[in-house]
């Protein structure tokens, strides 16, 4: 019943870049969250002031009695001091660096708070189709997975002029954009493959001159899972020919590509059919899920294990880039059983 609807959870926002502004605008039209305050100098010059969002310092946010949850959108730093009186939600790119992640989760446990991760790209229709097929027993266990994303995210080499963003936004920087795409792809991958990742090989942009996750325009990853599944992720930001494959899967008895499921018969024939998803993973539903978690105060061990897997994978990417060698992973399994 409409009269029984719970009031929205009041959000204190840490960061007013494009992600922060999106959250403010989205919450203004309804939903389980409402941004009431923000901590970022960008808020003073952005249009969000028209939504009635108060400007506050981080200490003021953490000590405010009329804020239910802090939402961290900052890419470069995760403020450990924000884990205080409220539960926290962070964006996917938070999952950078094992040390920070361990400190953040430990601080949350010590203070009896939840630290949850918002994964907006789980709402992608194509990914939801691939996930439905991966969980379908008809194709058996996935033996190979591949994802390619080439985009015109910055002028290709040889271009004499380019455009710069009109305002300061860490999410608009090429290195940040590349890592954000990689983080989203790895989050999707650990959902697609119910097995423990055991090895990572990363190949960066040779023209970057620096062995760093944020350097260069391209990044190719090869991930091996305990089940024997091998996955490849290919990200490039300077391609004048944009191309996105979506997830391509090969299973023991079939596969998936471009919205279609391929199934092998006992006679060796291949039948393909369109994929329809029955479960809904739209962003609205994920926000509802986050709100339910915050209200319950009960941690989701499976979700935390997935987030930690992405942390470990990104950390392994950096180590592999530095050494130019495969890196062995020692991560917690995230089986869906």
Query: What does the pLDDT profile of the chain (337 residues) look like in tens digits?
Result: 444 578 999 999 988 777 888 888 888 888 899 999 988 765 655 555 667 888 888 888 888 888 999 998 876 677 888 888 889 999 876 666 778 888 888 888 898 999 999 988 888 889 999 999 999 888 999 999 999 999 876 666 666 555 454 444 555 566 778 888 999 999 999 999 999 999 999 999 988 888 888 888 899 999 999 999 999 999 999 888 999 999 999 999 999 999 999 998 888 788 899 998 765 555 568 888 899 999 999 989 999 999 989 989 999 999 999 999 999 997 554 443 3
d(Cα 15, Cα 21) in Å, to the nearest integer?
A: 9
Answer yes or no: do 106 and 158 share one domain: no
SS3 202: strand
50 and 110 both lie in a single domain: yes
What are the strands, taking DSSP E only, across 252-324? 254-257, 260-264, 270-274
Same domain, yes or no, for 154 and 57?
A: no
CA 245 to CA 149: how far, in whole Å? 7
Side-by-side strand order, sheet with 54-55: 54-55, 33-39, 9-14, 69-72, 87-91, 115-118
Together in a domain, 179 and 73: no
- How many other CB atoms are there within 10 angstroms of residue 287's CB atom? 21
Is position 284 within any domain? no
Q: In angstroms, rounded to a whole number, what is the distance separating the alpha carbons of residues 281 and 250?
A: 23
CA distance 161 to 114: 46
167-184 in b/e form (b: 16+ CB < 10 A) is: eebbbebebbbbbbbbbb
Here the tokens at position 311 are 């942390």
| The pLDDT of residue 167 | 47
- Kindly state whether residue 311 falls inside one of the protein's structural domains: yes
How many domains does the structure of the chain reveal? Answer: 2
Q: Return the biggest CA–CA distance within the chain.
A: 68
> Quick one: 57 exposed, middle or buried, by C-beta within 10 A (0-12, 13-18, 19+)?
exposed
Q: Would 285 be classed as within a structural domain?
A: no
- DSSP-assigned letters across all residues of 71-116: EE--SS---GGG-SSSEEEEEGGG---HHHHHHHHHHHHHTT--EE
Same domain, yes or no, for 178 and 237?
yes
Q: What is the pLDDT at residue 149?
A: 95
Whether residue 294 is contained in a domain is answered as: no
Statement to judge: residues 172 and 106 lie in one domain: no
Over the Cα atoms of the chain, what is R_g?
21
Residues 197 and 105 in one domain: no
- Residue range of the domain that includes 164: 124-279+299-328
| Residue whose C-alpha is closest to residue 39's, from 24, 19, 59 | 59
Q: How is residue 293 annotated by DSSP?
A: H
First CA to last CA across the chain, in angstroms?
34
pLDDT reported for residue 236: 93
**How many other C-beta atoms lie within 10 A of the C-beta of residue 111?**
13
Q: What is the dihedral of CA 207, 212, 215, 217, to 10 degrees?
A: 70
Query: Is 287 contained in some domain?
Result: no
For residues 50 and 138, state if they share a domain: no
In a domain, residue 286? The reply is no
pLDDT at 186: 96
144 alpha carbon, distance to own chain's centre? 21
Beta strands, E only, 40-139 = 54-55, 69-72, 87-91, 115-118
Q: Where a domain ends, among 100, 118, 136?
A: 118
> What is the domain-level CATH number for residue 138?
3.30.360.10
Please check whether residues 53 and 128 belong to one and the same domain.
no
Asked if residue 33 lies in contact with residue 287, where contact means CB atoms within 8 angstroms, the answer is yes
Task: Show which of 75, 94, 118 is a domain's final residue.
Answer: 118
Tokens of 265: 């018969």
Is residue 43 domain-shared with residue 139, that is, in the same domain? no
Query: Could you say which of 94, 118, 142 is where a domain stops?
Result: 118
pLDDT recorded at residue 3: 45
Same domain, 305 and 174: yes
Cα–Cα distance, 109 to 115 (Å, whole number): 9
By the 8 A CB rule, do 108 and 83 touch?
Answer: yes
CATH number (domain holding residue 56)? 3.40.50.720
Is residue 56 assigned to a domain? yes
Asked if the structure places residue 292 within a domain, the reply is no
Same domain assignment for residues 63 and 165: no
């Amino acid at each position: 019943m409409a009269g029984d609807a719970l009031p929205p959870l009041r959000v204190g926002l840490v960061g007013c870049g494009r992600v922060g502004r999106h959250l403010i605008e989205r919450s203004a039209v309804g939903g389980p969250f409402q941004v009431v305050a923000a901590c970022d100098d960008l808020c003073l010059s952005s249009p969000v002031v028209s939504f009635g969002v108060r400007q506050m310092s981080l200490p003021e946010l953490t000590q405010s009695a009329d804020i239910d949850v802090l939402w961290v959108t900052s890419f470069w730093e995760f403020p450990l001091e924000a884990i205080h009186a409220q539960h926290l939600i962070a964006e996917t790119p938070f999952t950078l660096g094992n040390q920070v992640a361990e400190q953040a989760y430990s601080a949350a446990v010590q203070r009896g708070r939840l630290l949850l991760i918002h994964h907006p790209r789980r709402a992608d229709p194509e990914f939801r189709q691939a996930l439905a097929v991966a969980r379908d027993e008809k194709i058996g266990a996935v033996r190979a997975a591949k994802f390619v994303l080439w985009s015109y995210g910055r002028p290709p080499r040889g271009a004499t002029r380019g455009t710069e963003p009109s305002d300061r936004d860490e999410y608009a920087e090429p290195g940040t954009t590349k890592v954000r795409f990689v983080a989203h792809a790895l989050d999707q991958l650990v959902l697609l493959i119910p097995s423990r990742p055991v090895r990572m090989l990363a190949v960066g942009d040779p023209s970057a001159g620096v062995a760093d996750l944020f350097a260069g325009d391209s990044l190719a990853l090869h991930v091996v899972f305990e089940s024997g599944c091998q996955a490849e992720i290919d990200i490039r930001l300077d391609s004048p020919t944009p191309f996105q494959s979506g997830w391509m899967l090969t299973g023991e008895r079939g596969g998936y590509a471009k919205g279609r499921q391929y199934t092998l018969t006992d006679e060796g024939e291949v039948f393909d059919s369109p994929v329809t998803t029955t479960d809904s993973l739209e962003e609205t539903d994920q926000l509802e899920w986050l709100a339910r978690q915050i209200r319950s105060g009960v941690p989701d061990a499976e979700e935390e294990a997935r987030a930690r897997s992405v942390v470990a994978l990104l950390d392994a990417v950096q180590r592999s880039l530095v050494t130019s060698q495969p890196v062995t992973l020692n991560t917690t399994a995230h089986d869906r059983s």
